[in-house]
Chain A
Amino acid sequence: MTGSDFSLIMLPTLACNADCEYCFENKTAQYLTLGQFAVLLEKVMDFLDSEHIGRLSIYWQGGEVMTLPPEWFEQANIIVRQSTLARKKEVVNYIQSNMIGYTGKWNRALEEMFGNSVGSSMDFPNLHRRLAGGGPEQYEALWVRKVKEAGEAGIRVSVIAIPNEKTLEMGAERFYSRFADELGITEFQVNTPFPGGRSNWVKDGYPLDAERLGRFLLDLAKVWMERGFGKGVKVGPFDMLMEYFTHGQKEFLCIWQDNCVNGFVCIDPQGHVSQCDCWAASYAGFRFGNIFDSPGLSHILRSSEARRRLQERPGMLIQREDCIECAYLGICHGGCPVRAFTVQGDLYRKDPYCSVYQVLFEGMEKLAASRTRRAAVAS
């Protein structure tokens, strides 16, 4: 927890303008007031002071953040700046939005607070993202239009994509082309789906078949290496893995930290503190405490039984699972707790996508070695 960096996943609202079938959040109409945000931020700053942490990354997510008015963020940014100045901290803001509510009115907030950069989400093919009462095609057409409008306003949109059965059928080449060539997205990331929140027929199909998903990811990595690597296209998590296997740089997704508990927390609009957004809106039993009802964030983190269970997880996995035998222990540590819990009902099991990760790690290691060899020969 100590060090120069800490991250806060901030959920100012759990309202959403979409109705995606695989969403792990239970939506509510609640939102955070600016006054509450100011109080909350001061408590987070107190915590940073006590831990000698100088830099805070705030990931603004929802629900859907753009169900709040852009003026809310402009005011929130003033609060952040005032606090930053008073506390002598560095704060960097990131925003994750489905872009459905984007209009030109957002441009000022996006520029001033987020450096003209937005993280969004879209799948290929899009089967499960939809508006309430609408279909996936309608949603995708709207999303494409909004992303195009944002691009014209100078806003860079990166994308998180969740593969589905059809994605695996269509293959990596088609997937890559859709984002990089057709949509002109130069930064996208593939996340694995999990059955968080209320169950339904879509989530009943998770986790995806490990062998097919592993093959797809490795194929996608190869396509990216051939067509996008070194040409300004970033595809996660391959870019991070390539960096690690080439230069030893360990900067990974949250699912591959030695313990995600050490790096960030999530706070929802009611002030509930959880490990991340995956827990916040659907698993009340995993809340650490409430920031408004507590003396401070340090107190919550020190005293939370739910957090203690999460903290124990990697140590438990080392004893219960076969992680210690794995050549990639140092970049995985048993994977994501919420994926383990939602698939296996047990926090102390390794990530259900373990075999997918192993295939990916081994494949990326070979690709990195091959590239290094070619570079050495060329020089």
Chain B
Amino acid sequence: MTNEITYNIPASLAAAFRGRKVIVRSPDAAEIVASVTAEDLGNISYIKLLSLDGEMDSLKTWGPTIPVELAVTDPYRDLPLLYRYAPLLAGHPIRVSVPLVTGFGNVVKLAVSLNFAVKMEGGQPEESLADELQRIARFYLHQPMVSEPIEFFHSLFLAFFRRAPVTLWTIQEEDPSLVSYITDRGEETMPGRLAGVAVKEMFSTFVRELRDALAAEEGECAGCEFLMHCLGYFKWPCREYRCDAVKALMLTLRCAAEELRADIDSFQTRGGGART
């Protein structure tokens, strides 16, 4: 059985990818609305607005329930603009993607406050962000007002909790065997940070080969307790990247997941309900 590839396409190529599973992106909401026909809606995983500056009124009454991703590129500049999109929630689930750069924590916090889901992007966060990442992880784990997923924390936490072999490449939608990125010129490349590695033969095997290569080296990955979930995610593109901060982060999430498991097991032992 093979997984269906999802194509991350520019809105201008919507017609060319008709019938295939797509993520439609554009800086302009009106372009998406104009490019996508009613029969395309069923094949859209979500639409991605690459700029928060433009008008979004056209989305208010368009494609009800189609998820919308808002791409924050500059946390300081884009932070106040998130409020403009709150009315869209009446018709669409909303997720904010934010790069792991200075100021990302405020974006996460405001997005969650507005009931938006969050996806943090960027696999090699700078050392200076370590404290902020830990702070946001604690916010995700312990702040009662958090009711929407903050990725990659959320799926990783669930993977630890369920002891499921979910990988960061999949969580971050960067597994080339699942997602393909189509450039504005129509060229097919790998998704996310792998963009530019345009060797089609490698698509299905890239992640496995990267993991095997890293595991075979005498480096940080050899024997790493998180390799099952990471598969070298944090070692791309720079293999010399030190994982201390991200390992501490994963440990925080795993400890919380194990604590929850223990609590539920204890509850069940005392005659409570079944784990779901």
Q: Which one, A245, A315, A324, contacts B81 given CB within 8 A?
A: A315
**Which residues of the partner chain B approach A315 to less than 8 Å between Cβ atoms?**
79-84
Residue A212, interface by CB 8 Å: no
Residue B90, interface by CB 8 Å: yes
Shortest CB–CB separation between residue B245 and chain A, in angstroms? 23
**Which residues of the partner chain A approach B90 to less than 8 Å between Cβ atoms?**
2-4
Shortest CB–CB separation between residue B42 and chain A, in angstroms? 20
Find residues 101-120 in chain B having any chain A CB closer than 8 Å to their own CB. Answer: 106, 109-110, 112-115
Nearest CB in chain A to that of B107: its residue: A324
Contact of A2 with B91 at beta-carbon distance under 8 Å, contacts A324-B106, A327-B143, A329-B113 already known: yes
Find residues 326-379 in chain A having any chain B CB closer than 8 Å to their own CB. Answer: 327-331, 333, 365
Shortest CB–CB separation between residue B29 and chain A, in angstroms? 13
Shortest CB–CB separation between residue A89 and chain B, in angstroms? 16
A324 touches B91 (CB 8 A): no
Find residues 254-284 in chain A having any chain B CB closer than 8 Å to their own CB. Answer: 258-259, 262
Nearest CB in chain A to that of B79: its residue: A318
Nearest CB in chain A to that of B86: its residue: A258
- For the side of the interface on B, what is the size category? 20 to 34
Residue B61, interface by CB 8 Å: yes
Shortest CB–CB separation between residue B236 and chain A, in angstroms? 32
**Which residues of the partner chain B approach A52 to less than 8 Å between Cβ atoms?**
60-61
Find residues 292-318 in chain A having any chain B CB closer than 8 Å to their own CB. Answer: 311-312, 314-316, 318
B60 touches A1 (CB 8 A): yes
Shortest CB–CB separation between residue A143 and chain B, in angstroms? 39
Residue B147, interface by CB 8 Å: yes
Give the A interface residue count (CB, 8 A): 27
Complex: A297 Cα to B60 Cα, angstroms: 17
Contact of A245 with B144 at beta-carbon distance under 8 Å, contacts A259-B83, A314-B83 already known: yes
Of B143, B145, B147, chain A has the most CB atoms within 10 Å of the CB of: B145
Residue B88, interface by CB 8 Å: yes
**Which residues of the partner chain B approach A311 to less than 8 Å between Cβ atoms?**
83-84
Contact of A259 with B88 at beta-carbon distance under 8 Å, contacts A315-B81, A318-B110 already known: no
Residue B87, interface by CB 8 Å: yes
Residue A133, interface by CB 8 Å: no
**Which residues of the partner chain A approach B86 to less than 8 Å between Cβ atoms?**
258-259, 262
Q: Is the interface of B mostly helix, strand, loop or mixed?
A: helix
A318 touches B91 (CB 8 A): no
A262 touches B87 (CB 8 A): yes
Nearest CB in chain A to that of B106: its residue: A324
A316 touches B80 (CB 8 A): yes
Shortest CB–CB separation between residue A351 and chain B, in angstroms? 16
Shortest CB–CB separation between residue B115 and chain A, in angstroms? 8
B80 touches A365 (CB 8 A): no
Shortest CB–CB separation between residue B67 and chain A, in angstroms? 16
Nearest CB in chain A to that of B60: its residue: A2
**Which residues of the partner chain B approach A331 to less than 8 Å between Cβ atoms?**
145
Complex: A250 Cα to B110 Cα, angstroms: 16
Nearest CB in chain B to that of A330: its residue: B113
Q: Which one, B61, B87, B91, B113, contacts A333 given CB within 8 A?
A: B113
Q: Which one, B87, B91, B110, contacts A329 given CB within 8 A?
A: B110
Shortest CB–CB separation between residue A33 and chain B, in angstroms? 33
Shortest CB–CB separation between residue B220 and chain A, in angstroms? 35
Residue A248, interface by CB 8 Å: yes
Contact of A2 with B83 at beta-carbon distance under 8 Å, contacts A324-B110, A328-B145 already known: no
B83 touches A258 (CB 8 A): yes
Complex: A330 Cα to B88 Cα, angstroms: 17
Complex: A324 Cα to B86 Cα, angstroms: 16
Complex: A3 Cα to B109 Cα, angstroms: 24
Nearest CB in chain A to that of B82: its residue: A315
Shortest CB–CB separation between residue B30 and chain A, in angstroms? 15
Residue A112, interface by CB 8 Å: no
Give B64-87 as 1s and 0s: 1 = Cβ < 8 Å from A's Cβ atoms: 000000000000000111111011
Shortest CB–CB separation between residue B193 and chain A, in angstroms? 28
**Which residues of the partner chain A approach B89 to less than 8 Å between Cβ atoms?**
3
Shortest CB–CB separation between residue A332 and chain B, in angstroms? 9
Give B218-243 as 1s and 0s: 1 = Cβ < 8 Å from A's Cβ atoms: 00000000000000000000000000
A2 touches B145 (CB 8 A): no
**Which residues of the partner chain B approach A250 to less than 8 Å between Cβ atoms?**
115
**Which residues of the partner chain A approach B143 to less than 8 Å between Cβ atoms?**
327
Complex: A35 Cα to B60 Cα, angstroms: 32
Residue A319, interface by CB 8 Å: yes
Nearest CB in chain B to that of A250: its residue: B115
Nearest CB in chain A to that of B113: its residue: A330
Complex: A262 Cα to B86 Cα, angstroms: 9
Residue A149, interface by CB 8 Å: no
Give B108-139 as 1s and 0s: 1 = Cβ < 8 Å from A's Cβ atoms: 01101111000000000000000000000000
Residue A51, interface by CB 8 Å: yes
A2 touches B88 (CB 8 A): yes
Nearest CB in chain A to that of B61: its residue: A52
B147 touches A1 (CB 8 A): no
Nearest CB in chain A to that of B109: its residue: A324
Complex: A270 Cα to B54 Cα, angstroms: 35
Complex: A218 Cα to B169 Cα, angstroms: 48
B80 touches A248 (CB 8 A): no
Contact of A51 with B60 at beta-carbon distance under 8 Å, contacts A2-B91, A331-B145 already known: yes
Shortest CB–CB separation between residue A41 and chain B, in angstroms? 22
Known contacts A2-B87, A3-B89, A4-B90, then 7 further A-B pairs from the complex at CB < 8 Å, ordered by chain A residue: A3-B87, A3-B90, A262-B86, A318-B79, A318-B80, A327-B143, A330-B114
Of the A-B pairs whose beta carbons lie under 8 Å apart in the complex, a sample of 5, sorted by A's number, is A2-B61, A262-B86, A324-B109, A330-B115, A330-B145
Minimum-distance CB pairs A-B, first 8? A3-B90, A315-B80, A330-B113, A2-B60, A329-B113, A330-B145, A315-B83, A52-B61
